[in-house]
């Protein structure tokens, strides 16, 4: 029985090492999303950090800043969603589809 437990511990350590490598790799991976037909584009990495925000000049209307704010929010939220989906997909490869709360 102790041999089985040691085996489980070894597998857990290997999974932990794979997850740490994945976290480092995901920091370097990026996703992009835009809103307003490409008027606003957000780029986010796998750690859900906003890396870049591009706003086309045509989107800047001093008389309608609310529209620009909405476009920025929409682009950033979509980029974050794509990043989270990417992380879930990559984690699923390591965990074999097990949903382990608190990993990401």
Taken in order of first residue, the domains within the chain and their CATH numbers are 2-95 (3.30.1310.10)
For the stretch 4-18, pLDDT in tens is: 777 888 877 888 888
By residue count, the chain amounts to 104
> What is the rounded CA–CA span in Å between residue 58 and residue 44?
23
For the stretch 29-70, pLDDT in tens is: 999 999 999 999 999 999 999 999 999 999 999 999 999 999
Question: What pTM, to 2 d.p., does this model score?
Answer: 0.74
Taking the alpha carbons of 51, 55, 61, 62 in that order, is the dihedral positive or negative?
positive
What pLDDT is recorded for position 36? Answer: 95
């Amino acid at each position: 029985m102790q041999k089985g437990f040691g085996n489980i511990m070894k597998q857990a350590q290997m999974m932990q090492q794979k997850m740490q490598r994945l976290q480092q790799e995901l920091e370097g991976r990026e996703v992009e999303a835009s809103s307003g037909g490409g008027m606003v584009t957000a780029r986010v990495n796998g750690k859900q950090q906003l890396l870049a925000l591009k706003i086309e000049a045509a989107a800047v209307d001093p008389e309608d800043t609310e529209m620009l704010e909405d476009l920025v929010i929409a682009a950033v939220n979509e980029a974050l969603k794509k990043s989270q989906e990417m992380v879930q997909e990559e984690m699923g490869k390591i965990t074999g589809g097990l949903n382990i709360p608190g990993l990401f």
